[in-house]
Chains A and B, each alone.
Chain A
Amino acid sequence: MRMRRCGRLAGAFLLASALAAPLAWANRADDTMVVAFQREVVNLDYLYTTSQEHVILSDLTDDRLFDVDPKTNDIRPMLATGYQYVDDLTLDVTLREGVHFHSGAAFTADDVVYTYQWVLNPDSNARASGTVTRWLRSVEKLGPYKVRFHLKSIYPLALRDMARRIPIRRNGAYQVDGKDDRGAQALHPDGLGPYRVAAFQPGQRAELVRFDGYYQDSPKGRPAIGRIVTRTIPDWGTQQAELMSGGVDWAYDMPLDVAQSMEATGRAVRLSGSSLRLSFVVLDAAGVSGNTALTDVKVRRALNYAVNRKAISEFLIGGAAQPIVAACHPLQFGCAQDVASYPYDPAKAKALLKEAGYDASKPLELWAYRDRAVAEAVAADWTAAGVNVKLRYGQLASLDQARAGGKIPAYIGSWANGGTADTAMIARVHFGDTDRNLSRNADVAKAVMDAERTNDPAQRAAHYRKALQTIADQAYWVPLFAYSVNYLTSPDLQFPVPADGLPRLFEASWKPAK
């Protein structure tokens, strides 16, 4: 009696699961692309967020004054149709007419002024403020479609910062019931982008629908896909399972092994593209941590020779990953490649260490917080050269705490360059006056700062070349590689791989049905 009942139950389970498994790739039929994110999206207002998932979403729901062409790295018009530098500290911008917000309100100069004044206002506590307050003094309206920006000093990246960081908000968007409310645009932003927010469950799911009132001359074009749903699935295993069963059409930035395994099942297409994100080891050349072993340039050069960058980028990251020689990404403006390089040579590394009289009995702490396999590979390479490496792999917040306290002799850092192809993005933070600068070289710092004080590209490039050559010569870093980003898509989806590693989901489309 009991056995028969068990048999029937088991049968019911199997039948239920067979029926429950959705028809693969039904999403094309209802023109909905389901996207998986690993990290939670809790706020849709990009003025108040920073991580890459928020950038992707903001690209869909918001527009900015300018846009950067990913292929040519040039500024191109978006909400602004033109600009003019009246003098080095005054920038006039002409705005596009005939543009509307998702709510229907017309876009005018008032919106631009309101947005930038909000960001400049210290009480707004916008995350984007820091980017803008550094160089912008004030903004004023010149006419219904004309705005003037007053800069504090000469700043060559003004347009880029505006293009990457400041989505335009409607005039009065943060005014609720007569009071300022910073969270007013968090759940249902009223934007100018090609998609509008239909539903949002913070941390779990967002549903975006194509905005039919989007202006025609946008550099983004008119999106092909009518609806995008983003789901947060933090576990790679679950993402894989969902891809296999058709619950998700697009996922990105998964480790190489996961991507290759999924590709092998035949149920997903693997794409890989380059990324502006870099990986590098920062060495405590100034002895900030009290460990004087790395103050000797021979030791630092030895550590450079000891690492097999080629193997690491080829086998651990794969795809479009490539080793780097300078402390910047080759695609960035000003990233001179004619700097001292240290090809993999363990024998030379050992010889240099001996010459420097390196004391191998003292442990060298190497901190890392991501890409454990890379950290282990670097540690193993250094160990093979005769260094007593102690790997400390933990959380980013702990690493930052320790670095601020001057406790770290060497760490593996990663920098995404904010999606901006200009050396300033990485040089300022790592060689200027910050706690990430473990080299404390005043000349390099001056060169890096000078490169941001002139608008002349030739002069800027010269400053950066000087800085980068010193950095490589003194081996302040062990530059490792530029990342490759892996994408997994449904076979029905056509997705152009971005050169700068920033997925532009509005460019996706369905392949024609067979």
Chain B
Amino acid sequence: MTNQDKTLAAGLAATAPPPAAEPDFDAQRRQAFWRRVRGHRGLQAGAAILLALLAVAVFAPWLAPHDPNAQSLAYRLLPPAWSEGGSWTYLLGTDQVGRDYLSRLIYGTRISLVVGFGAASIGCLIGVTLGVCAGYFGGRIDSLVSFLLTSQLALPGLLLAMALVFIIGPSLWVVIGIIGGLHWTYYLVVTRTSTMRLRQLDFVAAARAIGSSRRQILWHEILPNLLNQIIVVFTFEVGIAVLAEAALSFLGVGIQPPTPSWGLMIAEGKMAIFHRPWLVVLPGMALFLLVIGANLLGDGLRDVTSPEKRN
């Protein structure tokens, strides 16, 4: 049981928990929660999509008919099997150096998921830390964080990405770090507001009264109550990170070839869209699917954990 429950049980002044509070682990509440989950189609759809993509990523070596990096220059730019000139060995056609497009799409799932979850995690770490500190301590720290926030939003991500990719080197982790480092603002805003509100509640005052240190308060009182919102933001940020990586790779400052990133595949196919549109249509659809899955899940989680704020 969390400290919040303990203080409630001790009969101290019980104020209505903030709407975003975690449901009490009372059996009835839990049943209601799962009922809502079962009834929420969007949540189920989103979760199903993400799980399916996760499965594709994990089982890629078994699903992909070819090595995604195997080039065969003589068979470049073949159209999908059902079009004129296509071949059934390359179901969805080949790209400009003769790599099988279907295999690249499948392996691209790995890149997108790793980037999405990795960047969202980094953003979470930065944003939640800053948000909680700003919300709890206020004053100077809040102003400093506000300054950092505005500066980060004003600095163009493209420039930062290009420069860092050059200076450090274009590895996958650099790209994840850059995207995570550019997408922590949503976490900050959400946790800061909630922390400010939570800080004033009685159970926090009670904790301070019984002598808990600041660290204990933050860790045991504040954070658990933010968990819901953080998870919701996290799922949205996965989608945002995936799109950001695609945009950076599209502009040439993200994932390096020959790694099969969907954004990079769109960039490489851009020149031929008039005559070979599948090069651009297919990776884009894959991106759309992943992001919509993440967004549906995020929306669903938000609805299910705080039904009063359904939006």
Contacts and interface: CB of A to CB of B under 8 A. Distances in A.
Consider the complex of A and B and state whether they touch directly, i.e. have CB atoms less than 8 Å apart.
yes
* Chain B interface main SS type: loop
Nearest to B170: A392
A264 B97 contact: no
B252 interface: yes
B303 to A, nearest CB: 35
Interface stretch (B41-49, B187-195, B197-205, B266-274): B266-274
Contact of A316 (B69, B97, B252): B97
A255 B77 CA distance: 13
Nearest to B95: A373
Contact of A237 (B70, B76, B258, B274): B274
A392 B274 contact: no
A13 interface: no
The 7 closest A-B pairs by CB, nearest first: A261-B275, A315-B73, A311-B73, A380-B71, A398-B166, A373-B96, A236-B271
15 contacts: A237-B273, A241-B274, A255-B271, A257-B272, A258-B272, A261-B272, A261-B275, A372-B268, A373-B96, A373-B97, A380-B69, A380-B97, A380-B258, A392-B256, A393-B252
B271 A258 contact: yes
Nearest to B273: A237
Given A261-B275, A315-B73, 10 more contacts: A237-B273, A257-B271, A257-B276, A258-B272, A316-B96, A316-B97, A380-B70, A391-B256, A393-B256, A394-B252
B17 interface: no
A279 to B, nearest CB: 15
Contacts of B273: 237
A318 to B, nearest CB: 11
A238 to B, nearest CB: 11
A445 interface: no
Contacts of B73: 308, 311-312, 314-316, 377
Interface in A302-322: 308, 311-312, 314-316
A264 B79 CA distance: 15
* Chain A interface main SS type: helix
B258 A376 contact: yes
A315 B257 CA distance: 19
A383 interface: yes
B37 to A, nearest CB: 42
Interface of B: 69-71, 73-74, 76-77, 96-98, 162, 165-166, 169-170, 252-253, 256-258, 268, 270-276
Nearest to A254: B271
Interface in A183-218: none
A379 B69 CA distance: 10
Contacts of A372: 257, 268
Contacts of A391: 256-258
A364 interface: no
A240 interface: yes
A257 B96 contact: yes
B257 A375 contact: yes
A373 B162 CA distance: 21
Interface of A: 236-237, 240-241, 255, 257-258, 261, 264, 308, 311-312, 314-316, 372-373, 375-377, 379-380, 383, 390-395, 398, 401-402
A344 to B, nearest CB: 12
A291 B244 CA distance: 34
Contacts of B258: 376, 379-380, 391
A390 B276 CA distance: 29
A259 B252 CA distance: 23
B69 A311 contact: no
Contact of B169 (A257, A261, A376, A392): A392
A308 B98 CA distance: 14
B136 to A, nearest CB: 43
Contacts of A240: 274
A357 B235 CA distance: 48
B257 A261 contact: no
Contacts of A264: 275
A376 B77 contact: no
Contacts of B97: 316, 373, 376-377, 380
A398 B258 CA distance: 20
B217 to A, nearest CB: 47
Most buried by B among A264, A311, A402: A311
B172 to A, nearest CB: 11
Most buried by B among A377, A383, A395: A377
Given A316-B97, A372-B257, A383 B69 contact: yes
Contacts of A394: 165-166, 170, 252-253
Contacts of B272: 257-258, 261
A398 B164 CA distance: 12
A494 to B, nearest CB: 26
Nearest to A255: B271
B126 to A, nearest CB: 27
A315 B74 CA distance: 6
A311 B169 CA distance: 30
Most buried by B among A308, A315, A383, A394: A315
Contacts of B170: 392, 394
A395 B158 CA distance: 14
A402 to B, nearest CB: 8
B231 to A, nearest CB: 36
A443 B55 CA distance: 60
Contacts of A312: 73
B95 to A, nearest CB: 9
A257 B98 CA distance: 13
B159 to A, nearest CB: 13
A167 B96 CA distance: 41
A237 B280 CA distance: 13
